[in-house]
């Protein structure tokens, strides 16, 4: 099945949202028809436990941590996914950012 667009989901601290928004705009993610910078975000709570050897953005080794963050969703052309992921990683503070790429079939119905 062929697809033209993907939905990218990114979990990021609220403090880094504006840097993320600019990075997405710079790689043209969120360009839909005659609009750009189209994205949605919702507040959520992240939970993690840093293990030995980690370099956590927030938290203490071997303790459960929680923090408010945003779940950001943006459309991206399939041919720009790698470039978009690189742009997100450049502004993201987590060691391993949570970036989900979901192919979309039959967009714009």
CA distance 97 to 86: 11
pLDDT tens sequence across 6-54: 999 999 999 999 999 999 999 999 998 899 999 999 999 999 999 999 9
Class of the 14-68+79-98 domain?
Answer: alpha beta
Percent of the chain that is helix, strand, coil (3-state, to 5): 25, 40, 40
Statement: residue 2 has pLDDT above 80: no
Looking at residue 45, its pLDDT comes to 96
Looking at residue 64, its pLDDT comes to 96
Statement: residue 106 has pLDDT above 80: no
Residue spans of the domains in the chain: they are 14-68+79-98
């Amino acid at each position: 099945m062929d697809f033209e667009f993907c939905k990218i989901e990114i979990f990021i601290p609220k403090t880094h949202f504006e840097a993320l928004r600019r990075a997405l705009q710079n790689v043209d993610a969120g360009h839909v028809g005659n609009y750009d910078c189209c994205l949605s975000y919702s507040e959520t709570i992240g939970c993690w436990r840093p293990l030995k050897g980690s370099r956590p953005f927030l938290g203490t080794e071997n303790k459960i941590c929680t923090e408010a963050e945003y779940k950001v969703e943006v459309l991206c052309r399939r041919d720009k996914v790698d470039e978009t992921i690189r742009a997100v990683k450049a502004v993201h503070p987590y060691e391993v950012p949570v970036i989900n790429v979901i192919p979309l079939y039959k967009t714009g119905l």
